[in-house]
Structure 1
Amino acid sequence: MGRQWRDGRGKLVVRGESGDVTLPLEIASSLRARRRGLLGRDFVEGALLLSPANSVHTFGMRIPIDVAYLDRRLRVISVRTMKPGRLGLPRLRARHVLEAEAGAMEGWRVRSGALVEVDTDGGSDAHDRPDSAGTPSLPS
């Protein structure tokens, strides 16, 4: 079974060859929080992680958004910019979806193949990174 987070806040770390990028993260894991997502917002600070999720829509959105589909290892499968009123098709290997303001992910170097980490407690814990088998390990 994959990693499960609770609704709340944390940090997203985007790993890269030229250094890491750390940014604010909002986590939406409950059905209610995932349904709400970025609806009705005009501004997004950092990114929103929807988990579990393999597709999104932008019906009712006020702004275009960047959408990154993540696999079970938190590796980026693909990144798309979606205008309001669109339906994103499900990605077969996607287990999580990141949303942010349009254009933000390019600046953060979130692109296909990039690896991200989720930090929910202020430290970079192994339970928020995939283990060698590819599934996030649980806290001890």
Structure 2
Amino acid sequence: MKLINSTRGTVIAQDLIKAHSFWSRFKGLMLKRDMPHDAALHLRPCSSIHTFFMKFSIDVIYIDEQNVVVGIEKHLEPGKIGGRFKSARSVIELPAGTLRDLSTGDTVAFAEKNQAI
């Protein structure tokens, strides 16, 4: 799947991986060596994260039930606890430095890879 900023009509990530089960959320990015520059991990349900046992920094998008961005963290380093955003219902983790053209209040969408934006 692709992750799209539907407010601005831009692609955020070409390869979105879903982590929607308990075990896939639990494992997340722990112990991974890195993350491809065009990848993202969608954790749902999820309202907060940590980077314990991670080996690289990440950018984080917190979204509500309507996929509106309610929080953003850039360059969250390994061994840290992410922010707490009251209305967040899911979280998207991306390689550090990925988020350039995204703001709180933007809406994100999930699309099949071959689907046009």
Normalising by the smaller structure, the TM-score range is 0.7 to 0.9
Unaligned runs of 5+ in 1: 1-9, 125-140
Q: Secondary structure at the match of 1:105?
A: coil
Amino acid at match of 2:81: L
Q: Does 42-51 or 62-71 show the bigger shift?
A: 42-51
Greater relative contact order (Cα 8 A, min sep 6): structure 1 or 2? 2
Q: Does 46-55 or 84-93 show the bigger shift?
A: 84-93
**Equivalent residue for 1:131?**
none
**Equivalent residue for 2:72?**
79
Are 2:23 and 1:39 equivalent residues in the alignment?
no
Are 2:9 and 1:15 equivalent residues in the alignment?
no
| CA distance in structure 2 between the aligned counterparts of 1:38 and 1:58, rounded to whole angstroms | 8
Unaligned runs of 5+ in 2: none
**Equivalent residue for 1:132?**
none
* Alignment partner of 1:99 out of 72, 93, 97: 93
Identity of aligned residues (%): 32
**Equivalent residue for 1:112?**
104
Runs of 4+ deviating beyond 2 Å: 119-124
CA contact (8 A) 1:50 1:98 kept: yes
Are 2:55 and 1:65 equivalent residues in the alignment?
no
Bigger proportion of residues as strand: 2
Are 2:82 and 1:88 equivalent residues in the alignment?
yes
> TM-score with structure 2 length normalisation?
0.85
Number of aligned residues: 112
Amino acid at match of 1:61: M
- Computed over aligned residues only, the root mean square deviation of the Cα atoms, in angstroms, reads 1.8
Q: Secondary structure at the match of 2:84?
A: coil
Q: 1:41 to 1:111 in 2, by over 3 A?
A: farther
Q: Secondary structure at the match of 2:59?
A: strand
Cα distance, 1:25 vs. partner?
A: 0.3
1:49-82 deviation line (CA, Å, top 9, x unaligned): 0001000000001001111100111011111121
| CA distance in structure 1 between the aligned counterparts of 2:83 and 2:103, rounded to whole angstroms | 18
